[in-house]
Amino acid sequence: MQSKLLLSLIAGLFVSGAAFAQSSAPSAPSAPHMGGKMPHRFGGEFAKMDKNGDGFITRDEAAGHKMLLEHFDEIDANKDGKISKEELQEHHMAMSEKRHGRMEEHFKAADKNGDGALTKEEAANAKMQHIVKNFDAMDANKDGKVTMDEIKAFMKSHRKDGPHQ
């Protein structure tokens, strides 16, 4: 169970769990930390769901998208009954930060000697199967340990939707 949780945390951190986003149409200004761009990992799903093209997704437009419907009220930050690209983006960023925090906690718990790196044995003992399976590829400097930076670099280079800006 812990290995599945870690795998989902790692995947969620580095590979978008939700496939929502904008099309190639220009977007409204977004949050400053995104440099005014909607992350390309969202694909064209936002535009597909926005049936009337008004830049918002209503509950009716979200029909058939289980995850979006389940979290609709949470994503709709201003409680106006519709989700903007920016609200979806902010929610995605908040969830990514939360998953990142959990992943770091799990990493620290597995790092029994507190050196900031995991040996293959530490990862195996913590049931971090994804790390164990890819250990040699993650261990960029071949020192027999993987750091969070090495794990992040590995995950970034193995994204399904390409590298992110």
Question: For position 42, what pLDDT does the model report?
Answer: 53
Say yes or no to pLDDT of 25 above 60: no
Answer whether residue 162 is part of any domain: no
What are 99-115's pLDDT values in tens digits? 888 989 999 999 999 99
Which of the four pLDDT bands, split at 50, 70 and 90, describes residue 81?
very high
Backbone angles phi, psi at 119, to 5 degrees: -85, 165
Tokens of 125: 């003992």
82 forms beta bridges with: 58
pLDDT of residue 99: 87
Task: Provide the 3-class DSSP secondary structure of residue 78.
Answer: coil
Predicted confidence (pLDDT) per residue in 131-155, tens digit = 999 999 999 999 999 999 999 899 8
Instruction: Identify the sign of the CA torsion 8, 64, 55, 46.
Output: positive
Within a domain: 28: no
pLDDT at position 64 is 84
In a domain, 164, yes or no: no
Question: What average pLDDT does the structure give for the chain?
Answer: 76
* CATH code assigned at 152: 1.10.238
Q: Is residue 44 one of the residues assigned to a domain?
A: yes
The rounded percent of the chain whose pLDDT value lies above 90 is 55
State the average pLDDT over residues 76-92.
93
Residue range(s) defining the domain that contains residue 104? 2-9+98-157
Pick from 49, 48, 50, 36: nearest CA to 89: 36
Domain count, the chain: 2
Cα(154)–Cα(85) distance, rounded to whole angstroms?
Answer: 29
Contact 12, 160 (CB under 8 A): no
